[in-house]
């Protein structure tokens, strides 16, 4: 049960100069499982994902990936200079030269096939996120890595995007690792939650995590709307790994 199918981060620490960004983080990633990373701003969520993707080299620790693992990555936001004339179709074609059929298929699976000839600069926030998701899907990934997939999307769109991600997982049975600010919203579409604040505070099934003292201490007893504002200032003295709930699909224990 503890053998990850897809990838495993072990003992990851990351420091920039004197600043510690990640401290001894372990994270296994499994097939057909949605893992959500939550935590306050500056908790190192994006950094952890970048370590997994090989964009940032960890100061300590090892990254194991299944040989031949295909990762589809959806970055938090992407800024393309307005002087670059680019249609959605070209954006998806570059650099691997996917066929028009593949591109239409990927776009329809995210409900955005009508955008194929639009300029990338004319897309709304939600349309851009769908296009980025389509680009990640084009690689036919074993593991989808989504950094704040609903950023800049209105509430209705957010729910819809999360449903889309759940459907994609069901359909393709790939692993999903996503970052979110907001446990409340992702609760229903996630199997395993990891609460990160430089180190892993707690992890497990979403409902168990939301009741975990470490989670409550981190985010306060009330939820969603105050998450980003909550100022995290305590240091942990409790047992960080003692609260994992068994029996979720991801095999739970990361210690």
Where on the chain is the footprint of other proteins (CB under 8 A)?
A: 50, 53-55, 71, 73, 75, 78, 80-81, 83-87, 90-91, 94-97, 135, 139
Half-sphere exposure of 19 (CA within 13 A, CB side): 6
Tell me the β-bridge partners of 197. Answer: 199
- Least distance to other proteins, CB of residue 132, Å: 9
Contact 87, 120 (CB under 8 A): yes
- Least distance to other proteins, CB of residue 95, Å: 4
- Least distance to other proteins, CB of residue 172, Å: 18
Nearer to other proteins, 93 or 159 (CB): 93
Say how far residue 247 (Cα) sits from the centre of its chain: 22
- Least distance to other proteins, CB of residue 200, Å: 24
Nearer to other proteins, 136 or 214 (CB): 136
Nearer to other proteins, 7 or 214 (CB): 7
Q: How far apart are the first and last CA of the chain?
A: 13
- Least distance to other proteins, CB of residue 75, Å: 6
Q: Compute the distance between CA of residue 141 and CA of residue 143 in angstroms, rounded to an integer.
A: 5
Nearer to other proteins, 71 or 193 (CB): 71
Q: Which helix (H) or strand (E) holds 207?
A: helix 206-211
Contact 129, 137 (CB under 8 A): no
Nearer to other proteins, 53 or 240 (CB): 53
């Amino acid at each position: 049960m503890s053998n990850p199918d897809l990838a495993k981060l072990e003992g990851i620490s990351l420091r920039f100069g004197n600043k510690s960004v990640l401290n001894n983080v372990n994270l296994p990633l499994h097939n057909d499982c949605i893992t959500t990373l939550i935590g306050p701003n500056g908790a190192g969520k994006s950094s952890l994902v970048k370590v997994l993707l090989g964009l940032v080299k960890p100061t300590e620790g090892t990254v194991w990936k299944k040989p031949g693992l295909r990762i589809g990555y959806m970055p938090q936001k992407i800024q393309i200079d307005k002087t670059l004339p680019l249609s959605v179709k070209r954006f998806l074609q570059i650099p691997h030269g996917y066929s028009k059929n593949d591109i239409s298929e990927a776009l329809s699976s995210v409900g955005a096939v009508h955008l194929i000839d639009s300029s990338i600069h004319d897309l709304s926030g939600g349309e851009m996120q769908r296009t980025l998701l389509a680009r990640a899907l084009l690689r036919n990934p074993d593991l989808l890595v989504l950094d704040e997939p609903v950023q800049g999307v209105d509430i209705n769109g957010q729910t819809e995007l999360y449903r889309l991600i759940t459907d994609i997982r069901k359909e393709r049975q790939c692993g999903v690792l996503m970052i979110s600010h907001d446990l409340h919203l992702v609760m229903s579409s996630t199997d395993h939650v990891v609460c990160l604040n430089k180190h892993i505070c707690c992890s497990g099934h979403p409902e168990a995590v939301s009741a975990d003292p470490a989670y409550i201490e981190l985010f306060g007893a009330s939820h969603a709307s105050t998450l980003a504002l909550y100022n995290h200032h305590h240091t942990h003295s409790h047992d960080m790994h003692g609260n994992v709930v068994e029996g979720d699909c991801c095999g739970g224990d990361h210690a």
